[in-house]
Structure 1
């Protein structure tokens, strides 16, 4: 069983405890149903330890949880393959555990709210742009590894084409549009692709123009994930060069959600944002 971020273990434990209480079962009764020691149930519910694939499936069966989406989400939080192995597991030798965790959360989320201050969000990148970003951010990688990382980036974009697609709300600093990544032709193609994707009904794209001056998100990019079925499970992810930081405290979530609303209010409207993108693309 691989390492799972503590924030996810605690969140999973909280939800399993609520489901057990809704089923009117004590931890001792649940343990007896499963043939476990009560301490095992307690360790899982408090997030002290993770849970194996087969144990999570058995626990959800004992609690009467049959909804496939809820089971899949809980499996994603647990980092198990109970809902079927994610496609990203095939890239286990290329992408680090933190990135696999991020992708598993993204694949189960209902909504993603993201601020980007330097580059186009991964879900909206073209292959050429993704390749240029990867080469610049991770210098010296073998060509085959770069190819695999680009494949992963493009495969992630399937969440926007699913039957129930991810709702993406993206706020981009104008610098994202003007930073020439990969050369003029790569950038022109990327800007055209942004315009096409922004026209999708489940994608809302806004640009924070230079004229807006300083703003609260200047300290760095972030993503807020929201999930179906489970309330109060919003999760903030801060991406760093070698790691990802998960924020779960209510105060942190409220601060980032409020910051995102503020940036949306100061950003150009989706229509004006598209006009700006088109204008920059024409001049590129």
Structure 2
């Protein structure tokens, strides 16, 4: 079965459990109706296991779900949009499960709002910058693993070039621009790339200057993903050294959305941000 992010399986399971209860059935009764073991129903409802399309259809019928729109939405949670395995699955064990979940969600999201406090967002990185960041952040990895991770990071950027591209709004701490990851030449190239991508109609880039002082996002970077059709699937991702934390609660989403709105208000405009990027790039390598 295809790898489906745990957050999607849990959401599907929650909806199926709700429908079962509304139908007045226990998990055991549902299992007997379908000729399944009760453990299979429990694994699906808790998100431990995925569910095949055929099983999902008979489960809908057993629960009396006739609404074609809701059946379609729930079916979309059980499989990757677009059919076929995700390109990232070809990398197998080279990327951890949490990262695969992140990539899968990113590939299906309609918008992403991200705060970065130390490095350029992966979707905006140049090959040289991506390699320098990977080597620095994951010191000691074999060269082949570094190569694979850089390939994955660059392949992710296809979401900005698709027919219906991801709408990206990135707020960057000024430190992101001034930290010379990979050396002066790598950083100059990276700043030029930022300026180019910021001019795309579906990319908005703002910089939080040092003059802002302390701000709500200093606790760390995050990404808010919004998805088409199913608003309840929206979530926040916090990136850690070895894994990612996915926040799905409504209270968490509201808190991070409010924080992002506040930071947008404190950040420079897009035009002023581009001027700052150009100025920092021009000054790299010069004698102060």
What stretches of structure 2 of length at least 5 have no aligned partner? none
- The answer on 1:217 being equivalent to 2:221 is no
Within-5 A mapping of 1:1-284: 7-16=7-16, 35-36=35-36, 40-41=40-41, 43-45=43-45, 47=46, 49-54=48-53, 58=57, 64=68, 71-76=75-80, 83-284=83-284
1:81-102 per-residue CA deviation (whole Å, 9 max, x = no partner) reads 9931000000012101111111
- Given that 1:208 and 1:267 are in contact with CA atoms closer than 8 Å, whether structure 2 keeps it comes out as yes
Change (3 A) 1:201 1:38: same
1:92 partner SS: helix
Select between 57-66 and 164-173 the one with higher mean Cα deviation: 57-66
Task: Give 1:145 shift.
Answer: 1.4
TM-score by length of structure 2 reads: 0.84
2:168 partner SS: strand
- Given that 1:209 and 1:268 are in contact with CA atoms closer than 8 Å, whether structure 2 keeps it comes out as yes
Q: Greater CA radius of gyration, 1 or 2?
A: 2
TM-score by length of structure 1 reads: 0.85
What stretches of structure 1 of length at least 5 have no aligned partner? none
1:217 partner SS: helix
- Given that 1:115 and 1:222 are in contact with CA atoms closer than 8 Å, whether structure 2 keeps it comes out as yes
- Given that 2:53 and 2:75 are in contact with CA atoms closer than 8 Å, whether structure 1 keeps it comes out as no
Alpha-carbon distance in 2 for matches of 1:59, 1:271: 55
Alpha-carbon distance in 1 for matches of 2:254, 2:183: 39
Task: Give 1:57 shift.
Answer: 5.4
- The Cα RMSD (Å) is 3.0
Count of residue pairs brought into register by the alignment: 276
Alpha-carbon distance in 1 for matches of 2:264, 2:117: 14
1:271 partner SS: helix
